[in-house]
Amino acid sequence: MKNWISTAIIVVLLLLTGCSKVQVSQDYRAGMDFSQYRQYQWKTVSIEPADDIRVNNPLLHERFRQAIDSALLRRGFVVGAPADFLITYTYSIQARLESDPVGTTFGFGVGRHHRYSEIGYGTGNIVRQYDVGILAVDVIDVPSGTLAWRGTGSEIVTTHSTPEATTAFVYRMVDSILAQFPPP
């Protein structure tokens, strides 16, 4: 019995860790031969001042750069010259709204010894605001100077988080996006 319970717990944990919260997409230039790519260099990342202090964090951008380098290294690419492609990224945080459809509720209650009763009816909906971090990683073909591939990922972000949680968020975003590169 104990083996069955521990097996069930392990399976549930694996299913929960296997579900990524990052929503990703990619776009790439048709006909581009990505098999020739071996070495890359960084294109200067211009960090535009934003209204959100979470985007203006130099430590966050350092984490993005380290995560992208790490993910590309795991995929067999190296930093070097002459570069086959340039890599760059942009990051922003956008506010989003989510609402539930209008719901109708109906209730009936009876009090003690059937002395008190009530009928209730209600309608309404709930609107929530949340923030989404959006990371776009660009691969620029060096010979042509054109954008060859763009991977985009988004995930809900919080206002306050620990450095460990921020690092985990960055690596999760970057790994999810670069799992699509190079395209088939």
> How does pLDDT run across 46-58, given as a tens digit for each residue?
666 777 778 888 8
Q: Which of 75, 98, 181 is nearest to 138 (CA)?
A: 181
Q: DSSP for 28-93?
A: E-TT--GGG--EEEEPP------S-TTTT-HHHHHHHHHHHHHHHHHTT-EE-SS-SEEEEEEEEE
**Residue 35 domain-assigned (yes or no):** yes
20: CB partners within 8 A, 6+ apart:
172, 176
Distance CA 176, CA 26 (A): 11
Instruction: At 89, list the tokens.
Output: 């990224």
Q: Which of 145, 135, 172 is nearest to 26 (CA)?
A: 135
- What pLDDT, in 10s, does the model give residues 172-184? 999 999 999 998 8
**Residue 123 domain-assigned (yes or no):** no
CA 136 remoteness from chain centre: 10
Beta strands 127-141; 85-99: pairing state: antiparallel
Domain count, the chain: 1
Q: Say which CATH number the domain at 146 has.
A: 3.30.160.670
**Residue 117 domain-assigned (yes or no):** no
Say which residue, 166 or 4, is predicted with more confidence. Answer: 166
Domain that holds residue 73: 22-98+130-178
- What pLDDT, in 10s, does the model give residues 123-146? 777 788 889 999 999 999 999 999
**Residue 78 domain-assigned (yes or no):** yes
Q: What is the pLDDT of residue 113?
A: 65
**Residue 11 domain-assigned (yes or no):** no
Q: What is the CA radius of gyration of the chain?
A: 24
Which residues share a beta bridge with 97?
Answer: 129
**Residue 114 domain-assigned (yes or no):** no
Instruction: At 31, list the tokens.
Output: 């006909």
Beta strands 117-124; 85-99: pairing state: unpaired
**Residue 71 domain-assigned (yes or no):** yes
**Residue 108 domain-assigned (yes or no):** no
Residue 5 — pLDDT band, cuts 50, 70, 90? low
Judge whether residue 28 has pLDDT over 80: yes
